[in-house]
Amino acid sequence: MEVSVSGLCGIVVAALALFFMLMVLIVTYAWWISPIQTHNKLKRCGFGGPTPCFPLGNIQHMKNIRAINNNDLITPLTHDIHSHVSPYFSSWQKSFGKVFVYWLGTEPFLYIADAEFLKKMSKEVEAKRWGKPSVFRDDREAMFGTGLVMVEGNDWVRHRHIVAPAFNPIHLKPMLTIMLASTNKMVQAWLSQLNSASATIDVERDIVATAGDIIARTILGIMDDDDHNATQVFRKLRALQMTLFNTNRYVGVPFGKYFNVKKTLEAYKLGKEIDELLLSIIQARMSHRSSKSKSDLLGLLLQENGDALTMRELVDECKTFFFGGHETTALSITWTLLLLAMHQDWQNQLRDEIQQLLARHNHVIDLAMLSGLTKMKWVMNEALRLYPPSPNVQRQAREDIEVKGLIVPKGTNMWIDVVAMHHDPELWGEDANEFKPERFMEDVNGGCKHKMGYLPFGFGGRMCVGRNLTFMEYKIVLTLLLSNFSFNISPTYHHSPSIMLSLRPTHGLPLILQPL
Ligand code: HEM
């Protein structure tokens, strides 16, 4: 049978038109009809919230509220930070309460700042049945890939089973020497900078760099300053974080990635380069494993692993440790120094505690000495309450969840506002925004009226796997810093906490240091 050229063209055009119409239908359903159905379903289920507009959801609304509350600084300096860091949530809470739905583009998010609701919901779902918002999994692919923070279901069980033992306190013991060496380097640099007089130093910048140095050494076993690959990994990971979180982005909005093509390509390129560098480090380690290097996290993972994790997954775990581990810990120390600079009485009490313990332990900083730092632990808990470095926790419902007679439909993302709960007077009392480490003297939950109201490391089976490493690093760094310097607030400090994945001081933390 013969088909003329014009007939063939007609068939191709008709096929293309059909394909185009099909695509329009799919896109319209996925990005318009389906979100409207979900919105109506959530409304019928009893959840209120601001009205979304297609295609931005409530993003424009959030920007407008931020613009109205455009105070870069909190003056006078108080710890009442929630309405500053998340003005839209604090404003919506007034209208819709502590649980409501808002939209990032075409993605519904259930906002939760109600500890009892969270308790009831987490009772219904075991750890491996929780999802992580797919919209963030895609957006942060270059940072976390299939690392523990993002994996779900049986994959999460497999990863957690391999990763968790590496963070056992027994394995962390050899890392003490690394932490002492890196911190001492910073102390020496500060001492020579001060030259026995007092001066202002941006402690945030240097503490983040030191924590990066510690994590590179504890994860990858890097021993020399000049290890080119590790330095490159560190630089590129920081650049990736800036690219992803220091820009106006439209997460959840259809084609949102293409609103800023340059940044999207930059993130993709950095992600690929980091993967290649880490891959070469891991392959080198696998080809000549030495006993010396087994005590770092990568060595422990390789030991535990057999072939349970693929090479790709090992690379992603290393990236996850780096991101999950260095800035959060550095920020917990940074915010503590701000609080101690504001509260000289507590600074002196911690210094006394350190001196007494060092005297009792022959001036050696070891695990036994660190475990005696009781007041320091209260201060750490209180700093993590007022300034939680991970200011929110996210989940996604993989199936319908019934809570207090309400149905959270499958696919709903959840945004648990840790900052809001940590500052809630209904949970902590009228002094919720005050620095009072003594809250933790007799109660590990700081006297919070609900045990789900204090979540610096998350909750349930997915709670932070690296917290023991953080406790050790926090105590070592503060012990060395408080033994060598006194800290006062610099007049150049501008109090402006902001969320850039973590909760950070926007303008750094300049403090006046005086060598002791
Ligand atoms: C002050 C320091 C830290 C804070 C505030 C912090 C906070 C958190 C939070 C809030 C979560 C989410 C938990 C959840 O979803 O319920 C988490 C998970 C995680 N953290 Fe941390 N973290 C810290 C230090 C570290 C360190 C040092 C590492 C590793 C080197 C680390 C690795 C991880 C990993 C791998 C997960 C995922 C756990 C899972 O989903 O099973 N974190 N962390």
Q: How far apart are CA 271 and CA 170, in angstroms?
A: 33
- Pocket residue to mutate for ligand 1, from 128, 298, 328, 464, most atoms within 8 A of Cβ: 464
> Residue 133: helix, strand or coil by DSSP?
coil
Chain position carrying tokens 């480490």: 437
- Pocket residue to mutate for ligand 1, from 152, 318, 457, 501, most atoms within 8 A of Cβ: 457
CATH assignment of the domain containing 485: 1.10.630.10
- Range list of H helices, 56-114: 59-68, 82-85, 87-96
d(CA 292, ligand 1 centre) in Å: 27
pLDDT at 340: 98
Q: How far apart are CA 57 and CA 105, in angstroms?
A: 4
**Mean pLDDT (the chain, rounded):** 89
Whether residue 53 is annotated as binding a ligand: the answer is no
Phi, psi of 47 (to 5 degrees): -95, 125
Tell me the residue ranges of DSSP E strands in 428-505: 485-489, 497-500, 502-505
Higher pLDDT among residues 8 and 209, named by residue: 209
Is 298 inside any structural domain? yes
Higher pLDDT among residues 115 and 198, named by residue: 115
Average pLDDT on 240-249 reads: 75
| Residue 422 contacts residue 385 (beta carbons within 8 Å) | yes
The angle that helices 467-484 and 203-220 make with each other, rounded to 10 degrees, is: 130
The tens digit of pLDDT for each residue in 461-510 reads 999 999 999 999 999 999 999 999 999 999 999 999 999 889 999 999 99
Average pLDDT on 2-7 reads: 72
d(CA 68, ligand 1 centre) in Å: 33
The token duo for 324 is 């999950």
Average pLDDT on 342-368 reads: 97
| Residue 459 contacts residue 467 (beta carbons within 8 Å) | no
d(CA 465, ligand 1 centre) in Å: 6
Sign of CA dihedral 423, 424, 430, 436: negative
Q: Whose CA is nearest to atom 12 of ligand 1?
A: 458
**Portion of the chain with pLDDT greater than 90, in percent:** 58
Q: Counting atoms of ligand 1 from 1, which one is nearest the CA of 460? A: 16
d(CA 123, ligand 1 centre) in Å: 21
Is 431 inside any structural domain? yes
The tens digit of pLDDT for each residue in 187-197 reads 999 999 988 78
Q: Mention every residue, 6+ apart, whose C-beta is less than 8 A from residue 290.
A: none
| Residue 230 contacts residue 220 (beta carbons within 8 Å) | yes
* pLDDT tier, 43 (very low <50, low <70, confident <90, very high otherwise): confident
Please say if the pLDDT value at position 18 is more than 60: yes
> Residue 383: helix, strand or coil by DSSP?
helix
Q: Counting atoms of ligand 1 from 1, which one is nearest the CA of 322? A: 30
In the DSSP assignment, the letter for residue 52 is: P
Strand partners, 48: none
Give the 3-state secondary structure of 296-335. CHHHHHHHHHCCCCCHHHHHHHHHHHHHHHHHHHHHHHHH
Long-range contacts (CB closer than 8 Å, 24 or more residues apart) made by 290-298: 292/221, 293/221, 295/171, 295/174, 295/175, 295/221, 296/175, 296/217, 296/218, 296/219, 296/220, 296/221, 297/166, 297/167, 297/218, 297/219, 297/220, 297/321, 298/219, 298/220, 298/221
Q: How far apart are CA 139 and CA 413, in angstroms?
A: 14
* pLDDT tier, 288 (very low <50, low <70, confident <90, very high otherwise): low
Q: Mention every residue, 6+ apart, whose C-beta is less than 8 A from residue 116.
A: 450, 452
Q: Counting atoms of ligand 1 from 1, which one is nearest the CA of 132? A: 15
d(CA 467, ligand 1 centre) in Å: 7
**123-127, 251-255, 373-377: least confidently modelled range:** 251-255
Q: Whose CA is nearest to atom 24 of ligand 1?
A: 325
Q: How far apart are CA 128 and CA 462, in angstroms?
A: 8
Q: Whose CA is nearest to atom 20 of ligand 1?
A: 464
Please say if the pLDDT value at position 291 is more than 70: no
Q: Whose CA is nearest to atom 41 of ligand 1?
A: 462
Please say if the pLDDT value at position 239 is more than 80: yes
Q: Whose CA is nearest to atom 31 of ligand 1?
A: 466
| Residue 350 contacts residue 333 (beta carbons within 8 Å) | no
The tens digit of pLDDT for each residue in 110-147 reads 999 999 999 999 998 888 889 999 888 888 888 899 99
Is 155 inside any structural domain? yes
The token duo for 389 is 């470095």
Average pLDDT on 371-376 reads: 98
**63-72, 239-248, 471-480: least confidently modelled range:** 239-248
Strand partners, 414: 110, 395
d(CA 326, ligand 1 centre) in Å: 10
Long-range contacts (CB closer than 8 Å, 24 or more residues apart) made by 194-201: 194/513, 194/514, 194/515, 196/515, 198/512, 198/513, 198/514, 198/515, 199/512, 199/513, 200/490, 200/492, 200/510, 200/511, 200/512, 200/513, 201/510, 201/511, 201/513
Chain position carrying tokens 């906002």: 111
d(CA 159, ligand 1 centre) in Å: 14
pLDDT at 226: 47
pTM of the complete model: 0.93
pLDDT at 55: 86
Q: Counting atoms of ligand 1 from 1, which one is nearest the CA of 326? A: 27
pLDDT at 443: 94
Q: Counting atoms of ligand 1 from 1, which one is nearest the CA of 470? A: 27
Domain of 94 in residue numbering reads as: 45-515
Within 10 angstroms of residue 398's Cβ, the number of other Cβ atoms is 16
Sign of CA dihedral 30, 145, 122, 50: negative
- List ligand 1's pocket residues with C-beta within 6 A: 148-149, 160, 320-321, 324-325, 328-329, 332, 389-390, 393, 456-459, 462-467, 469-470
If one counts the domains in the chain, the total is: 1
The token duo for 143 is 């940072």
d(CA 463, ligand 1 centre) in Å: 7
Strand 510-515 to strand 199-202: parallel, antiparallel, or no bridges (unpaired)? antiparallel
pLDDT at 225: 52
Is 22 inside any structural domain? no
pLDDT at 307: 74
Average pLDDT on 3-10 reads: 78
- Range list of H helices, 367-452: 367-371, 374-386, 418-422, 425-428
